[in-house]
C-alpha cells in the first residue's frame, strides 16, 4: 500500500451488516462478494475504472471484488450508527491489523485510486470516501483482531 509521505494506517475498521456483500467467514476472514473477479490494482485503468465505479455506486446491488474499510475509527462508528438507525441487522465493526497482512493482501486509499484512474466520486459517496480504503478479494483471519458490536453513544 502506498501512502506517499504519510504512514500507512496500522488499523482499519470494516463496517458490516446482515445485508453486506462482503462478509466475514469464521476462521477464514472477510471475503468480497465477487472474490474471484478478474481485476487487480495493476489492471488497465479502463478496467479498474469500471470496477471501482461500480463499487462506489451506492445504488449498485451487484457484488464487486473490493472490501471497504475505514482508516478512521470515528468514521466507522458513525457509519455503523447510520446503518443501525436505518434498521440494518447485526451491525458490527471488524478491527483489522494491517501489520499482519502478508505479501498477498492488497489495499488502496479510495480517493487516491479514483484519482489515478480518473474517476469522479459522486457527492453521495464523497463523505464516506474520505477515510476509505479498499481491499482486493480477501482479508485473512489473521488480520481481523477484534469485533465491535456496541458503538451507540460512543
CATH classification of the domain holding 89: 3.90.210.10
What is residue 7's predicted lDDT score, i.e. its pLDDT?
65
Residue 78 counted as domain residue: yes
What is residue 1's predicted lDDT score, i.e. its pLDDT?
44
Number of domains comprising the chain: 1
Residue 3 counted as domain residue: no
Residue 70 counted as domain residue: yes
Bridge-based pairing state of the strands 23-25 and 29-31: antiparallel
Cell of 48: 479498474
CB 90 within 8 A of CB 150: no
What is residue 103's predicted lDDT score, i.e. its pLDDT?
76
Task: Residue 93: give the domain boundaries.
Answer: 11-148
CB 37 within 8 A of CB 48: no
Residue 154 counted as domain residue: no
Residue 101 counted as domain residue: yes
CB 135 within 8 A of CB 106: yes
Residue 6 counted as domain residue: no
Cell of 108: 488502496
Q: Please tell me the number of Cα atoms within 13 Å of 110 on its side-chain side.
A: 27
Q: Residue-wise pLDDT tens for the chain (154 aa)? A: 444 445 678 999 999 999 999 999 999 999 999 877 788 787 878 889 899 999 998 788 788 999 999 999 999 999 999 999 999 999 999 999 999 988 789 899 999 999 999 999 988 889 889 999 999 999 999 999 999 998 765 4
Residue 36 counted as domain residue: yes
Residue 103 counted as domain residue: yes
Amino acid at each position: 500500500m502506498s501512502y506517499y509521505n504519510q504512514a500507512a494506517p496500522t488499523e482499519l475498521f470494516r463496517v458490516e451488516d446482515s445485508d453486506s456483500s462482503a462478509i466475514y467467514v469464521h476462521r477464514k476472514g472477510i471475503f468480497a462478494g465477487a472474490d474471484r473477479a478478474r481485476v487487480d490494482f495493476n489492471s488497465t485503468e479502463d478496467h479498474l475504472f469500471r470496477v471501482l465505479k461500480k463499487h462506489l455506486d451506492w445504488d449498485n446491488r451487484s457484488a464487486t471484488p473490493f472490501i471497504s474499510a475505514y482508516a478512521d475509527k470515528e468514521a466507522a462508528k458513525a457509519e455503523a450508527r447510520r446503518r443501525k438507525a436505518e434498521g440494518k441487522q447485526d451491525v458490527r465493526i471488524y478491527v483489522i491489523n494491517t501489520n499482519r497482512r502478508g505479501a498477498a493482501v492488497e489495499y488502496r486509499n479510495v480517493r487516491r485510486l479514483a484519482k489515478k484512474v480518473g474517476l469522479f466520486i459522486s457527492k453521495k459517496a464523497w463523505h464516506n470516501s474520505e477515510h476509505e480504503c479498499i481491499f482486493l478479494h480477501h482479508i485473512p483471519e489473521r488480520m481481523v483482531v477484534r469485533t465491535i458490536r456496541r458503538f451507540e453513544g460512543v
